[in-house]
Amino acid sequence: MSTPEAYPMPMFPMLAVSDVAASSRWYQEALGFQHVFSMPGPGGAIGLVHLRFARYADVLMRAGAPSADKKGCGITLNFAVTENIDALAERARTAGASFIQEPGDRPWNARDFTVADPDGFALTFTMGPLKRDMSLEDVVAHAQKAGTPRT
């Protein structure tokens, strides 16, 4: 396996998870994330892990106290998929992922699905545009016609 590229990250989420090692394995096995590096925490257990879905789509995880509250309420991490999104959804399903939204074509000219990670964080994977000849105005009009709220 090659060494992952090092580059400045313009933005990345840091997730507090109940079991860093287990979450790292889940992201890699269920969703195909690449392990970049891990750092030990107190007592030698993994305290921080850096994973990458694609260039500039990095996620860091650190050990955090478990919470009964909904994780990341109102926040969804979004990842652009450049290849077969249905194969990725099937990989996640086979690994036991909990689907928040099943794969489907959306009015905003994309196909996506959303899963919850083991700690309840929402992850959306999107592939698009589905129709390359649609202008932004066409996409907005189509989404409005379908009832998608305009923000």
Most confident of 57-71, 114-128, 130-144: 114-128
Helical (H) or strand (E) element with 38? strand 34-40
Helical (H) or strand (E) element with 111? strand 110-116
Residue 45: pLDDT band with limits 50, 70, 90: confident
Q: Which residue has the tokens 């996506």?
A: 112
Each residue of 74-84: pLDDT tens digit? 789 999 999 99
Backbone angles phi, psi at 28, to 5 degrees: -70, -45
User: Which has the closest alpha carbon to 36: 56, 64, 63, 16?
Assistant: 56
Q: Residue 1's pLDDT is what? A: 61
The dotted CATH code for 14-65+72-145 is: 3.10.180.10
- Residues facing residue 40 across a β-bridge: 46
Higher pLDDT, 88 or 9: 88
Helical (H) or strand (E) element with 88? helix 85-94
Residue 72: pLDDT band with limits 50, 70, 90: low
Each residue of 9-39: pLDDT tens digit? 888 999 999 899 999 999 999 999 999 999 9
For residue 5, is pLDDT > 60? yes
**Where exactly are the structural domains of the chain?**
14-65+72-145
Strand order across the 122-127 sheet: 76-80, 122-127, 110-116, 98-106
For residue 148, is pLDDT > 70? no
Mean pLDDT of all residues in 45-70: 87
Q: What CA–CA distance (Å, rounded) separates 13 from 67?
A: 18
